[in-house]
Homo-oligomer: A and B are copies of this chain.
Amino acid sequence: MLRVEIGAALRRIRMSKRLTLRQVSALANVSLGYLSELERGQKEASSELLNSICNALAIDLHVLLYDVAHALEATKSVTTLTTLHRATAHTDIAA
């Protein structure tokens, strides 16, 4: 789910820059509660709000998107491997 991955990426980047929710919410002009809900993937961010938050985090929007795309791709790879592993395990039992 995109909003969950975007929220997780925003949190990762904020923590890596040692910024608090309070600092980013003040810089991005968004309420602390709303920012927290965004980070937990409970709200969709508008394009305007994502721009504000990226400015507050001092990153370009494309950096956020590469991060999200990479996380989604990694999740998919793990899911595929798990499925393959289960399929193989099943074959072993059947054999």
Residues of chain A touching chain B, judged by Cβ–Cβ distance below 8 Å, are 1-4, 44, 46-48, 50-51, 60-62, 65-66, 68-70, 72-73, 76
Q: A46-B44, A47-B1, A50-B2 are in contact. Are A65 and B69 (CB under 8 A)?
A: yes
With beta carbons under 8 angstroms apart, the residue of B2, B50, B70, B73 that contacts A47 is B2
With beta carbons under 8 angstroms apart, the residue of B4, B44, B50, B69 that contacts A62 is B69
A68 to chain B, nearest CB (A): 6
A77 to chain B, nearest CB (A): 10
Q: What residues on B are CB-neighbors of A62 within 8 Å?
A: 68-70, 72-73, 76
| In contact, B61 and A72 (Cβ under 8 angstroms) | yes
A94 to chain B, nearest CB (A): 30
